[in-house]
Amino acid sequence: MTSFLVRRTGQAALALFGVCTLIFFLTRLTGDPVLLMAPEGATRADIEALRTALGFDRPLIVQYWEYLNGLMRFDFGQSIVQRVPVMDIIVSRLPYTLGLAAAALVVALGLGVPMGVYMAVHRARPLARVLMGVVLAGQSLPTFWSGILLISLFAVTLGWLPSSGAREVTSVIMPAIALGLLSMATFARVARSAVLDELSKPYVRAARAKGLSTGRVVRRHVLRNGSIPVISVSALEIANLLAGAVIVETVFAWPGLGLLTVQAIQARDFPIVEAVVLLSAVVSIGLNLIADILYSVVDPRITLDGAAR
Amino acid sequence: MSHFWKPVRKGAVATVFLGAMSAQAVALETVVIDLVNEPSSLDPHVQWNPDSYAVYRNIFDNLLTRDDDGEIIPQVATAWEYLSDTEIAFTIRTDITFHDGTPLTAEDVAFSVERITDPDFGSPQLGQFNQITAAEVTGDDTVVLTTARPYPALLAQLVKLSIVPAEHVQEVGDDAFNAAPLGSGPYVFDAWQRGVQVTLTRNDDYWGDAGPFERAEFRAVPDAATRVANLQSGASNLIVTIDPDMAMQLDMAAGVSPRSALTERVGFLRLNGAREELEDLRMRQAIAHAIDKELIVEGLLAGFDRPVDQMLSPAHFGWIDGIEGLPYDPDTARALIEEIGEDAQRPMVFATAPVFDQRIVQALQQMLSEVGLNVSIELSDMSSYLSRVQSDPEDAPHMNFGRWSCACQDADGVLHPLLHSSSSWSTLNDPEFDAPLEAARETLDEDERLDAYRAVHERVIAEVPLVPLYQAAILYGVDDRLEWTPTPNESMFLNRMGWSD
């Protein structure tokens, strides 16, 4: 176990080093932030003066060395557009993205799983077919469009919910629905096939033969067994929710990392882009590491050190 | 495990929609303004894009300002007098205090000039002020600015110079000042919820016209459709940057309406005569004749914008009434192209970036194709676009569409960078352009300057280094209760707004 951890941590560190090197040089290939900052009509000398003041005139390798040095001290530098430490900006934005993803997950699970179960148990009923259509529609609606529809209905016409921003608790409802609808379809389909799968198994027949009602069989036995694929899909969907948040955050003016990233990329605000990419890399490498460790906890047949038991 | 599913069965759908569902009523003490993005910075010397400017311009007073008619009027300076062609003395108001109670002095003015012109400070606005070589306090309430040479656009540039408190800035440092700006304007910085909004409160001790609202909230709402929904739902009172279709939608809605102003931004098509395909003057003339500006303005821009025949707007110093450009005449264009023969068919590149209205770019391309030219659009991101447009003329694209604003309402900020041989924005190397542009830059005599600009306008028509297209409009959506007049320089002064009775 220990040698496994040491090896995997080493691998993770190497992967992170690769990510920050790659992102450092890639961002610098994508364009010049100084040109975007200089006002129209700025002369070459003005632009060069700005470049010097921002430190972009120095050799790339020097800038890279300084960047790595900063990282060692958890210093991500300063946003070149806002002139505020990147760490402060990320820390202020991260809770919004996590909150939105969590709320969307609640919507997706809360709607998707019951729908999937209903569609499996009552697959012959007309309502199940209607729900199938709803699920399909939920997955097909682009969020930039469904988001605007939600705003028109609930904010403009009915006036029930705040139309955008993050000023009160209710602000999260519409973005969470718009974002959750996409994953809802996945959960509904996975739940449906998992339940169908379980329903055809012998233990269900045995339970029914014992005299249990369908409802009770489903509640007591099928749901529990059928929940395993739903849980594995949840892990994948969390990543999807974070990615999908970019568009939803723009439509609803939700001040999360997605919106920040889009704006930073447009302005070539390198330090922010680098920090966000690094953060996602840390998250996914970290999650992978945890998952590997959890495998052995869940299933004792899997050993971590590679030695046969 | 069954209890886990119970709430679901009892209807999670309903609980999601319940909760506080109060309508978003906006109290009249607060005005809510939807910008596109949050300000990049509230330090007025650091950033200078519309979203930042709209907010911090209410926190700070500027040396000079413009009234709603566009005239330069006093603000921090009450009067100014040229001591020589390169020296100008400003008399500073003595009754202004910063929000912390300290008085605004001539030292603060000199400090502000020195700060924004310090190359190490790295202000993107440096180019607008670097003609100023010295700022000297010569009396209790007098500051003398010295320029490197006679600089007629100085006053127009100083309209953008915000006065910051010297002592406070030096004491807390640039970063802390940026996070919590302290000015002398009609509104006081209150809070900045990152990514969401900036809140200002009224400065009850303001020396000038006090603001009508107790509080003002500037929110970041990147999606235009969401801004329109916010306005219609009453969540905001004023929204920026909408397109003509949305303006028409607001026109039909109750309680809100679109408002527009013709700005100092001019749309144009630059033609690069340094490329051999466009070396022939007849090619450039054919392009000018092929473009139907009226159709672009009426058909695509819903008539809010206005076609122009000179590379300026009437809001600029240097605009000359009665100048007529080459008229829309596709037959003449075709005749010219036929005359040139096969060389006219060589492929040409039309560079553009996503920030520009692609419908206009495509319409221009189609107009050129219709008279028989071979033009292909190349779309790149803004940074690459700027770098291509500013590269050496031989490598720069054959043509590009742009919308130019110097935010100074002076021809020097438009014509000099676009047409002078020394500028990276120009593809020309023509003494006949350089001479009048330099003459207009080096004298303070307004008549002489106008004569020089007339010569430039006429040469633009003769040589066609660019085709001026239209004076751009800016469209806002406004709560009908809000009294406010948009201005050509896209300013947003809270203390020039009010509620109607």
The three-state secondary structure class of B435 is helix
Q: Check CB contact under 8 Å for A83 and B175.
A: yes
Asked whether the beta carbons of residue B130 and residue A36 sit closer than 8 angstroms, the reply is: no
pLDDT digits (tens, 9 = 90+) for B250-279: 999 989 999 999 999 999 999 999 999 999
| Contact indicator for A278, A18 with CB cutoff of 8 Å | no
CB atoms A160 and B23 under 8 Å: yes
Out of A113, A223, A259, closest to residue B1 by CB: A223
Which of A72, A103, A118 is the C-terminal boundary of a domain? A72
Say whether pLDDT at B27 is over 60: no
Question: What pLDDT score was predicted for residue B183?
Answer: 95
A259 touches chain B (CB under 8 A): yes
A212 is a domain residue: yes
| pLDDT surpassing 60 at residue B9 | no
Q: Is B196 close to A46, i.e. CB distance below 8 A?
A: no
Question: What percentage of chain B has pLDDT greater than the value 70?
Answer: 95
Residue ranges of domains in chain B, CATH in brackets: 33-39+182-261+475-499 (3.40.190.10), 50-174 (3.90.76.10), 262-473 (3.10.105.10)
Q: Which two tokens stand for residue B233?
A: 């739902």
Which residues are bridge partners to B146 per DSSP? B87, B134
Q: Which of A12, A39, A72 is the last residue of a domain?
A: A72
Distance CA B489, CA B475 (A): 13
The verdict on A128 and A223 lying in the same domain is yes
Based on the domain organization, do A221 and A247 belong to the same domain?
A: yes
Distance from CA of A37 to the nearest CA of B (A): 6
- Is B439 part of the contact surface with chain A (CB cutoff 8 Å)? no
Give the C-alpha separation, A19 to A68, whole Å.
12
d(CA B230, CA A151): 9
Flag whether A78 is in a domain.
Answer: no
d(CA A256, CA A272): 13
Average pLDDT, chain B: 89
What is the pLDDT, as a whole number, of residue B170?
Answer: 94
**Hey, which of A227-231, A279-283, B283-287, B405-409 has the most confident mean pLDDT?**
B283-287
Inter-chain Cβ pairs, chain A and chain B, closer than 8 A? 203
Alpha-carbon torsion, ordered B201, B204, B207, B209, to 10 deg: 70
Tell which residue, B459, B499, B469, has the closest CA to residue B28. Answer: B499
B472: chain A residues, CB-CB within 8 Å: none
Q: Is the pLDDT of residue B17 over 60?
A: no
A40 to chain B, closest Cα gap in Å: 6
* pLDDT tens digits, B479-499: 999 999 998 888 899 999 999
Tell me if A125 is assigned to some domain. yes
Does some domain include residue A304?
no
Residue A43 resides in a domain: yes
By three-state DSSP, how is residue B479 classified?
strand
Tell if the CB–CB gap between A84 and B225 is shorter than 8 Å: no
Domain limits for position A287: 87-298
Tell me whether A224 touches chain B (CB under 8 Å). Answer: yes
Q: Would you tell me which residues 109-128 of chain A have a C-beta closer than 8 angstroms to some C-beta of chain B?
A: 110-111, 113-114
Instruction: Tell whether A47 and A184 lie within a shared domain.
Output: no
ipTM over cut 0.95: no
Per-residue tokens: B355 = 């920030």
Are A187 and A136 part of one and the same domain?
Answer: yes
pLDDT computed for residue A237 by the predictor: 78
CATH number of the domain bearing residue A254: 1.10.3720.10
B330 Cβ under 8 Å from any chain A Cβ: no
The answer on pLDDT for B324 being more than 60 is: yes
- Of A123-132, A295-304, B58-67, B434-443, the range with the lowest mean pLDDT is A295-304
Q: Are residues A190 and A105 in the same domain?
A: yes
Q: Does residue A81 belong to any structural domain of this protein?
A: no
State how far residue A89 is from chain B, nearest Cα, in angstroms. 8
Q: Compare all CA atoms of chain A with the CA of B389 and give the residue at the minimum distance.
A: A35
Residue A304 in contact with partner chain B when CB distance is under 8 A: no
Position A80 in a domain: no
Residue A82 maps to a domain: no
Number of residues in chain B: 501
Q: What is the pLDDT of residue B431?
A: 92
Tokens describing residue B272: 């690069």
Indicate the DSSP class of residue B494.
G
> CA A240 to CA A234: how far, in whole Å?
10
Q: Same domain for A108 and A64? A: no
From the list B9, B119, B219, which residue is nearest A49 (CB)? B119
Tally the domains of chain A: 2
Three-state secondary structure of B109-137 = HHHHHHHHHCCCCCCCCHHHHCCEEEEEE
Assigned token pair, A264? 């930073």
Distance CA A198, CA A105 (A): 24
Of the residues B48, B230, B270, the best mutation for testing chain A's interface (the one with the most A CB atoms within 10 Å of its CB) is B230
In 3D, which of A10, A172, A51 has the Cα closest to residue A100? A172
From B313's Cα to the closest Cα of chain A, the distance in A is 16
Residues A97 and A158 in one domain: yes
Query: Do A167 and A251 fall into the same domain?
Result: yes
**pLDDT tens for chain A, residues 1 to 309:** 677 778 888 888 898 889 889 988 888 887 778 888 777 778 888 888 888 888 888 888 998 998 888 888 888 888 888 888 899 888 888 889 889 988 999 988 898 888 888 888 888 888 888 888 888 887 788 888 888 888 888 888 888 888 888 777 888 888 998 888 888 888 888 888 888 888 888 888 888 888 888 788 888 778 877 777 777 777 777 777 777 788 888 888 888 888 888 888 878 888 898 898 888 888 777 777 777 777 666 666 666 655 544
- Say whether residue A30 is in contact with chain B using an 8 A CB cutoff: yes
- Residues of chain A neighbouring B13 (CB-CB closer than 8 A): 110-111
Option in A32, A33, A224 nearest B1 (CB): A224
Q: Is the Cα torsion angle A192, A194, A200, A202 positive or negative in sign?
A: negative
DSSP assignment of A89-123 equals HHHHHHHHHHHHHHHHHHHHHHHHHHHHHHHHHTT
* Residue B3 confidence (pLDDT): 42
Check whether residue A147 and residue A121 sit in a common domain. yes
Same domain, A51 and A101: no
Q: Are residues A131 and A251 in the same domain?
A: yes
Beta strand spans in B107-229 (E): 132-139, 142-147, 187-193, 197-202, 215-220
Please indicate, yes or no, whether residues A59 and A152 belong to a single structural domain of this protein: no
